[in-house]
Chains A and B, each alone.
Chain A
């Protein structure tokens, strides 16, 4: 195997090996642990950079290792995987910096960072998986690596959230397994390919293919938090803020959404899936989730819970874009995979800053906080407006392509869903901004920590500011070469090419 053959595996190992080493580090070896964490994150990003360059120049990167008779463990860099792996690697670096600052002085840091690295290794494996069995392996590894992070605080609420998470995701994983095995039994192959590989089976197995689709999507819908499989996500917000960021933006829900992308495009093929009649029900579920998630968010006073329901709603934009069956909507869905991640991680970082610095957990405690923490709240403002879809931020680009795609696909009803969602987003984000910037601050904050003249620690402040600027850049520079939008356009060209 040459260098091109090892590169995908090296990307996975860059965080897997770091995670395994960190497990054995004593708690007090802070500098070593920090160095290892950052080295792993930067190394992964460099390797991903090499892969991006290679994919642009039509290099073929594939690691193939025998797993079972007739089934290989395949890691492959294609246009879709590069989109997701870039997102997760980039945001992992930022989240690592944030987590280092967030957990300073707290117990069990080696355990935390060990599982944290495993979690990202699994996510990268999900992104680079070249067939359904590899995808399934890393998908399950992700479930197991995330559980200890959710229960990290060790409180009753954390254990309860962890139990709910395991119940949902293991049930989802079981369905995914059944669907995968069934599909293998019929097709004899599980290799992802542009425009799918099951179309030729349509003649004798139409009913079975629809059932398998339902199984696979139901299994993935759990992590993607589609209604009614979403309840674990708002409960899991009891986890520390970096874990929330990981769950909502980098890893778990994204793995579910990305899995749906893979199944629809690279297993079934979008045109064949539309022909089977399975995309319209999927779009309906996504639309219901978008509205339901936003309505639930509207009534939450707990900030992280409000953000969690917002994720339930926003991730379904990706599914909606995929299910609308048209090149423009596909661009919208794929680009939102990246945009939602960047915007939502900004919001969770800010929520973490408010909790760690001032002890603020509830929206009703946020009066005047913009004056006390202007940089954090400026970042939050950008993230919130991005979620609403205000131009020129990243969310506007997503909504633009989703709306245009809906019209292009003759699904005008989606416009009302998008408009309703924007209204609801404004309904639950703007009161926060109003309270933070325009209401008078209280005399004392719930649990204020002093950081001298700074509003909070650098390690906590820099990540949300960086991701907020990224939110702005992703919108303003959407048409620049190598932007996620251009990348999504390239993927769409491949998926819809005759």
Chain B
């Protein structure tokens, strides 16, 4: 038997099969995302999961390097990612089934395409073995998930989508900067290599901050959780099922894989993150009790759980040895969270359908005020009651300023005016500027040489 496995021919066949299998996990859903290629298939979203199911059945650790792909990337599956993949397959299969609900009609093309693109990103991110691959797949997942949120929805999902999209863009910018810092530090962008190299670089703080902020935004970790309640409130059943296992899980996975936790000793930052985690849990409990609708319960559960995760992460930064002992549990936590939130979302949908109770609690959340107004507003109201008149005035002027800045017309008029000016005096301005450049160049050069 051993000779069989060491036979070069068999090994070559195994290698080829590994390449085909690993590439087809994100590849097949990507192909099926084209409506023309799935038009004759009855269950394209389920079929798209087949390579992942086959990969789960392969008992070995499999990995490939794809030097020609992107900037040179890799895909692979190990024990930890196997659990994540298994969770994903179950949740995606369930969501694919629910995609037809509640009408029983096939989902429209746009929704199915978004579903499959999100699937590509989600599975690809789990299998990615380097940062560039993970970033590419998670970005695709994010934009696809935005489509899932807003497709076919009314104003509420659109608002959730807008907020999520804004968060996504900011997160990707932060992570792109982190990626650049990593690439400047080390050529090999494999997760292990980057964590090791960044931890030993002269200033790992900026990289760590970018990673934590980027993935906290993506996972909806408090206090960067703005999109989470909106998404849970307005998402269709299939999408609500995926919220825990896709954007939140991939966000937390990104933190684990990118941040040099266990390699670096940052007690101060660790303490801050622990504090934030604790505050998140407190917020989830208080806010959940104060204003929860039944539909929002999973959102506050997610904030509670990600707060707990932040405490663990902070502990890892303060005590690397502890993270090295227990860090593997992070994957177990992410898998449990994915299943837990999906279960909670499903149970609540079932309860709503069974007892026709769209809101268990009487108080509805007030979503009309912008987020930046609510907390300062509470402080200002308290200050006014205590007799501090300055604060309300300051708040009023600040809000007026914000309102003014939101009026882009002034900017537009200014830019239009400059453009008209340029167009009207084209020749004169061109000559004037060119002459100016020559004169400046001459004077500058002469003084430099002189």
Interface residues of A (CB under 8 A from B): 164, 167-168, 171-172, 175, 206-211, 213-215, 218, 222, 228-229, 231-232, 234-235, 277, 295-296, 299, 370-371, 374, 385, 389-392, 396-397, 399-400, 403-404, 407-408, 415, 419, 422-423, 426, 430, 434, 437-438, 475-481
Contact = CB atoms under 8 A, between A and B. Distances in A.
Interface of B: 35, 67-72, 109-110, 132, 135-136, 139-140, 143, 147, 150-151, 158, 161, 165, 169, 172-173, 176-177, 179-181, 183-184, 408, 411-412, 415-416, 419, 422-423, 426-427, 429-431, 433-434, 437-438, 440-442, 444-446, 448-449
Contacts of A400: 71, 179-180, 183
A175 B434 contact: yes
11 contacts: A168-B426, A168-B430, A209-B445, A295-B415, A374-B35, A391-B140, A422-B173, A438-B110, A476-B69, A478-B71, A479-B69
B143 A385 contact: yes
B184 A213 contact: no
B23 to A, nearest CB: 12
Given A228-B429, A391-B136, A437-B110, A404 B445 contact: no
A397 B71 contact: yes
A167 B429 CA distance: 11
Q: Give chain B's interface secondary structure class.
A: helix
A438 B155 CA distance: 11
Given A231-B426, A403-B176, A206 B68 contact: no
A264 to B, nearest CB: 15
A235 B423 contact: yes
A221 B109 CA distance: 45
Of A231, A295, A407, the most chain B CB neighbours within 10 A belong to A231
Contacts of B184: 404, 407-408
A415 to B, nearest CB: 6
Contacts of A210: 441-442, 444-445
Given A211-B438, A392-B70, A422-B176, 6 more contacts: A218-B433, A222-B430, A229-B433, A299-B408, A399-B176, A419-B173
A404 B70 CA distance: 16
Nearest to A381: B143
A298 B97 CA distance: 40
B432 to A, nearest CB: 10
Given A207-B446, A434-B150, A438-B158, A167 B68 contact: no
B71 A407 contact: no
B35 A479 contact: no
A208 B445 CA distance: 8
A476 B136 CA distance: 10
A397 B71 CA distance: 8
Closest 9 CB pairs of A and B: A207-B445, A391-B136, A210-B445, A214-B441, A480-B68, A231-B422, A392-B136, A211-B441, A403-B180
Contacts of A478: 70-71
Nearest to B68: A480
A214 B446 CA distance: 14
Given A407-B184, A422-B173, A228 B419 contact: no
A476 B158 contact: no
Contacts of B411: 295, 299
Contacts of A295: 411, 415
Contacts of B442: 207, 210-211
Contacts of B72: 479
A178 to B, nearest CB: 9
Given A385-B143, A390-B143, A404 B180 contact: yes
A206 B143 contact: no
Contacts of B132: 391
A394 to B, nearest CB: 11
Nearest to B109: A374
B412 A299 contact: yes
